[in-house]
Amino acid sequence: MKNEYKHTKTTVSLLNYHFVFCPRYRRKIFNIPKVEDRFKELTLAKCEECGIEVLSQECHIDHVHMFVSALPAMSIPTIMQQIKGATSVELRKEFPQLKAMPSLWTRSYFVSTAGNVSSETIKWYVETQKTRP
C-alpha cells in the first residue's frame, strides 16, 4: 500500500478507501471466463481517466474488493458511480451472459477508510446482500 500524499494547488491529502460491492442478486459473474480480467481492465482505465488511483482490486465469485486513493474533490458516491457505471455498460455489451441482466451491480456498496475494516466486517456485508430468490 502506498502512503504517498497527493498535492494540488490548495490541498495535501491522503484519502484511501476500501470498497466492497456485489453484482445484483450476488450472481456469480466472475465464474464467466474473461469477465474478471475485463472488469479489471475497465476499472483501471476509468479510474485513470477520473484521477483515481487503484491501489489493489480483487474479484471474488460474487463480490469485488477495491482499495483506491482519491483527491478530496472526488466524493465517495462519485467514485462508485464512475466505476459501476462504466463497467456495467461495457461488460453487458461484451458478454452475452450478462446482457440479459437489467443492471449488473446492486445500488449498495460498503466503504471504509483505510485501516478501519476487518475481514469479519467484509464477510458480514457480503452475506447480508440479497441473493436471487
Domain ranges of the chain: 6-128
What pLDDT is stored for residue 121 in this prediction? 74
Query: Residue holding cell 480480467?
Result: 37
pTM of the model: 0.84
**Within its chain, how far is the Cα of 1 from the centroid?**
17
Q: Between 126 and 107, where is the model more confident?
A: 107
Q: What is the CATH number of domain 6-128?
A: 3.30.70.1290
What pLDDT is stored for residue 3 in this prediction? 63
Residues 17-63 have pLDDT tens digits of: 999 999 999 999 999 999 999 999 999 999 999 999 999 999 999 99
Question: Residue 15: enclosing H or E segment and its boundaries?
Answer: strand 15-21
DSSP labels for 55-69? Answer: EEEEE-SS-EEEEEE
